[in-house]
């Protein structure tokens, strides 16, 4: 009857998916979410996308891990994971928490004591709260004794962050997404907001309707291109050529902001000389955009009252990802389009807490708040805050995600603790990553489902889903928001903060955190950017923007108004030259593979493929192929195709898709049965160690095993 659908409680929280950070309300009855409603948060004003509105029931899925699991003796770590709960008990046996924790933590400790602290590594998650990220990196740094801690930020915006830290002294956005409604011109490059930041895309469309000129630069034609004033479909991998040509125009036509350059920047001369060699005429055949269009767009951006740049993984996931971002930063600096409303630089963050997890120090080279591990002052500060003897903390930056996999192959890393990440699906050259995970002496995985990574574990610790815990999450706008617990975890599943502390105990750490707010308070003491945000204020206001250094500060949504957080106060130009992709098409592998996400599914699919509505909308693995390319192969939409690179092959269903350029195939990376990252190239950007997910050589043939 109807009473069945009447909630017994409403809990205000935020969406667990993307970095837009929409606020929502869970409507709960008998420990089940009945439905979700949008709330009036700063980023969404009541709006939600299909994932936020319908993607909640994974929390109730029968695949949830409800008991600790220990790998049965002698079961080899080979073969493919099959999402078949009946097979789980062939590989694992159930255990008590005490037994599982003793084994999980005890063996990590034994590896540390036998092989040294550098033989361990930990991956945290951008899906966890700030408090979980903070405690996890503290555990690795103080319990393992190494900086080998990282998470999926390495795979998404690491290059943007490196370029931003180098150029303007801060890795976060300068202006919130909502500023698109205050801009005259908005450049969106290498991003597909309709799919990946759907509610943000609605504000972009609203802005376009109200007169803002959207300029979209992307090899793939996104739905947002329909709203664009100009859409430039440049050739994949030619970002630097195109952006340098735009800067060439701005310099040669005298459209630079001389006063801004003189008063607020350094290194302009070098950049000016570098872009001299990039005339639009010379670059047009390289990037596939005619010189007049390059000129027009460059003038538009430089001369408008307020121009803003937003970008995504199309910019960052290249071996020249850092260079791509350097060019965007230089564009904003030379025109003075930063430091005011409706201007600035906005790398659109993917995960709901990828900004916060990085802020909290879940990265191998920085302590919380981007204090570098090699700085003696920073080390001393954290040794004091964490009550450690001077000289305890390691001064060497740790290994990044892909470097950890290589270190396992070399026998340097023997034990790992993975919390909520799924590198077996998300890492490039996933066969190599899976072999590495399988080669570990000891792998502890903490998750809510038996992921492809958990399948290779020695111990699995059943954790809590988003709606089962309270914590803070930082969205793409630097907005710290409160997620509140709406459900109790199922069976013996436990909250992640409790599990991290239990592992810490087994590594001889004496921690005593009660409520999550006690972790948050410690973070405030070590992180000047959020020092002014009290837990009481989080509970009252639900959302506060940092920097918020002092209690009572309103929080600053637009930064760099007067100066840049660099030692000189000035931003710095860094020139970039064209570097080709690590693996170009040839006669054997004539096509280009571009990977990414799709609207209905989230990352490696462990949540959304277990959400009924989302899975019904997109149930099968697909490859998006240009209709003319499909035709040339003699194929039709819906046909099975096999895609092969030098590293692996998968079979999936072809979908005719005019948004992909000819010669390029787009595949989402969420399908375990056609894990496309088996094919991607692990070549890294030298500055950020981000892999080249947006470009590798493949061939496609008709047919294959479904
Ligand atoms: Fe959630 Fe992002 Fe969709 Fe908002 S736009 S509902 S944060 S997935």
Burial class (CB in 10 A: 0-12, 13-18, 19+), 78: exposed
Burial class (CB in 10 A: 0-12, 13-18, 19+), 76: exposed
Render 472-534 in DSSP notation, one character per residue: EEE-TTSEEEEE---SPPSTT---HHHHHHHHHHHTT------SHHHHHHHHHHH-GGGTT--
Q: Which atom of ligand 1 is nearest to the CA of 49?
A: 3
Name the residue with the closest Cα to ligand 1, atom 2: 18
Strand 691-692 and strand 479-483: pairing?
Answer: unpaired
**Dihedral sign computed on CA atoms, order 545, 568, 562, 247:** negative
Burial class (CB in 10 A: 0-12, 13-18, 19+), 269: exposed
> Is the C-beta atom of 425 inside 6 A of ligand 1?
no
Q: In the structure encoding, which two tokens stand for residue 596, read together?
A: 């990414």
Query: With a cut of 70, which residues of the chain have pLDDT below it?
Result: 1-2, 79-83
Predicted confidence at residue 81, as pLDDT, reads: 66
Render 426-462 in DSSP notation, one character per residue: HSSSHHHHHHHHHH-SEEEEEESS--TTGGG-SEEEE
ipTM: 1.00
Ligand 1 pocket test, pick from 52, 201, 600 with the greatest ligand atom count within 8 Å of Cβ, gives: 52
Contact 25, 13 (CB under 8 A): yes
Distance 428 CA to ligand 1 centre (A): 26
> Is the C-beta atom of 198 inside 6 A of ligand 1?
yes
Strand 591-596 and strand 571-572: pairing?
Answer: unpaired
Name the residue with the closest Cα to ligand 1, atom 3: 49
Q: Which atom of ligand 1 is nearest to the CA of 16?
A: 1
pTM of the model: 0.96
**Phi, psi (degrees; rounded to nearest 5) at 427:** -75, 150
Of the candidates 352, 87, 315, the residue with the CA atom closest to the CA atom of residue 190:
315
Predicted confidence at residue 156, as pLDDT, reads: 85
Q: Which atom of ligand 1 is nearest to the CA of 21?
A: 7
Ligand 1 pocket test, pick from 40, 45, 46, 51 with the greatest ligand atom count within 8 Å of Cβ, gives: 51
549 vs 237: CA distance, rounded Å: 40
Cis peptide before 547 (omega within 30 of 0): yes
Distance 705 CA to ligand 1 centre (A): 35
Of the candidates 192, 311, 313, 226, the residue with the CA atom closest to the CA atom of residue 599:
192
Strand 681-684 and strand 691-692: pairing?
Answer: antiparallel
Distance 216 CA to ligand 1 centre (A): 22
Name the residue with the closest Cα to ligand 1, atom 4: 22
Q: In the structure encoding, which two tokens stand for residue 576, read together?
A: 């970039």
Ligand 1 pocket test, pick from 24, 53, 176, 197 with the greatest ligand atom count within 8 Å of Cβ, gives: 197
Q: Which atom of ligand 1 is nearest to the CA of 18?
A: 2
Distance 25 CA to ligand 1 centre (A): 13
> Is the C-beta atom of 22 inside 6 A of ligand 1?
yes
449 vs 128: CA distance, rounded Å: 15
Question: How many angstroms from the chain centroid is the CA of residue 107?
Answer: 30
Distance 50 CA to ligand 1 centre (A): 8
Name the residue with the closest Cα to ligand 1, atom 6: 52
Q: Which atom of ligand 1 is nearest to the CA of 197?
A: 5
Q: Which atom of ligand 1 is nearest to the CA of 52?
A: 6
Of the candidates 375, 586, 357, the residue with the CA atom closest to the CA atom of residue 474:
357
> Is the C-beta atom of 18 inside 6 A of ligand 1?
yes
Q: What is the DSSP letter of 178?
A: G
Distance 37 CA to ligand 1 centre (A): 12
474 vs 176: CA distance, rounded Å: 12
Distance 115 CA to ligand 1 centre (A): 44
**Phi, psi (degrees; rounded to nearest 5) at 611:** -105, 120
Strand pairing partners for 627?
A: none
Name the residue with the closest Cα to ligand 1, atom 1: 52
> Is the C-beta atom of 24 inside 6 A of ligand 1?
no
Ligand 1 pocket test, pick from 54, 198, 203, 204 with the greatest ligand atom count within 8 Å of Cβ, gives: 198
């Amino acid at each position: 009857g109807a009473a069945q659908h009447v909630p017994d409680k409403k809990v205000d929280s935020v969406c667990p998916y993307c970095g837009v950070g929409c606020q929502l309300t869970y409507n709960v009855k008998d420990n089940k979410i009945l439905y979700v409603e949008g709330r009036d948060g700063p980023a969404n004003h009541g709006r939600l996308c299909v994932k936020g509105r319908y993607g909640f029931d994974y929390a109730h899925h029968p695949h949830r891990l409800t008991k600790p699991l220990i790998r049965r003796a002698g079961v080899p770590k080979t073969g493919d994971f099959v999402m078949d709960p009946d097979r789980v008990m062939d590989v694992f046996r159930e255990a008590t928490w005490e037994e599982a924790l003793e084994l999980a933590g005890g063996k990590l400790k034994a590896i540390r004591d036998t092989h040294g602290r550098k033989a361990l590594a930990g991956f945290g998650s951008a899906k966890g709260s700030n408090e979980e990220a903070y405690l996890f990196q503290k555990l690795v740094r103080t319990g393992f004794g190494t900086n080998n801690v990282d998470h999926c930020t390495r795979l998404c915006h690491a290059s943007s962050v490196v370029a931003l830290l180098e150029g303007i002294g801060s890795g976060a956005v300068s202006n919130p997404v909502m500023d698109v409604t205050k801009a005259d011109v908005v450049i969106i490059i290498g991003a597909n907001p309709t799919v990946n930041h759907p509610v943000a895309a609605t504000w972009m469309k609203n802005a376009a309707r109200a007169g803002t000129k959207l300029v979209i630069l992307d090899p793939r034609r996104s739905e947002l291109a329909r709203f664009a004033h100009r859409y430039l479909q440049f050739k994949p991998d030619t970002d630097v050529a195109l952006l340098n040509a735009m800067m060439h125009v701005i310099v040669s036509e005298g459209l630079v902001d001389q006063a801004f350059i003189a008063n607020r920047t350094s290194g302009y001369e070098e950049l000016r000389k570098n872009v001299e060699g990039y005339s639009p005429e010379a670059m047009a055949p390289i990037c596939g955009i005619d010189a007049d269009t390059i000129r027009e767009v460059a003038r538009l951006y430089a001369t408008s009252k307020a121009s803003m740049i937003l970008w995504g993984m199309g910019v960052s996931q290249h071996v020249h990802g850092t260079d791509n971002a350097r060019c965007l930063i230089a564009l904003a600096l030379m025109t003075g389009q930063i430091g005011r409303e409706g201007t600035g630089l906005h790398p659109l963050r993917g995960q709901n807490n990828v900004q916060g997890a990085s802020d909290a120090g879940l990265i191998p080279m920085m302590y919380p708040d981007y204090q570098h591990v090699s700085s003696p002052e920073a080390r001393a500060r954290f040794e004091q805050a964490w009550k450690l003897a001077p000289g305890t903390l390691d001064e060497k930056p740790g290994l990044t995600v892909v470097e950890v996999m290589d270190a396992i192959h070399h026998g340097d890393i023997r034990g790992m603790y993975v919390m909520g990440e799924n590198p077996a699906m998300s890492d490039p050259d996933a066969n190599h990553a899976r072999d590495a995970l399988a080669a570990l002496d000891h792998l502890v995985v903490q998750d809510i489902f038996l992921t492809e990574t958990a399948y290779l574990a020695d111990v699995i610790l059943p954790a809590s889903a988003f709606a089962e815990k309270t914590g803070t999450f930082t969205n793409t706008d630097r907005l710290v928001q409160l997620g509140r617990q709406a459900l109790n975890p199922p069976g013996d599943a436990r909250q992640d903060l409790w599990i991290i502390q239990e592992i810490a105990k087994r590594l001889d750490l004496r921690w005593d955190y009660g409520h999550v707010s006690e972790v948050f308070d410690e973070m405030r003491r070590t992180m000047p950017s959020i020092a002014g945000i009290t837990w009481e204020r989080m509970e009252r206001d639900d959302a506060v923007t940092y920097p918020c250094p002092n209690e009572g500060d309103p929080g600053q949504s637009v930064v760099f108004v007067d100066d840049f957080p660099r030692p000189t106060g000035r931003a710095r130009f860094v020139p970039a030259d064209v570097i080709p992709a690590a693996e170009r098409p040839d006669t054997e592998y004539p096509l280009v593979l571009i990977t990414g996400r799709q609207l209905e599914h989230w990352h490696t699919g462990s949540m959304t493929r277990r959400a009924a509505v989302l899975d019904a909308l997109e149930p099968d693995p697909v490859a998006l192929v240009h209709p003319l390319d499909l035709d040339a192969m003699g194929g039709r939409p819906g046909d099975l195709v096999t895609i092969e690179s030098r590293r692996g092959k998968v079979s999936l269903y072809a979908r005719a898709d005019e948004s992909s350029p000819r010669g390029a195939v787009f595949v989402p990376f969420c399908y375990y049965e056609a894990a496309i990252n088996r094919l991607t190239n692990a070549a890294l950007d030298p500055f950020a160690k981000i892999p080249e997910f947006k470009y590798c050589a493949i061939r496609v043939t008709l047919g294959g095993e479904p």
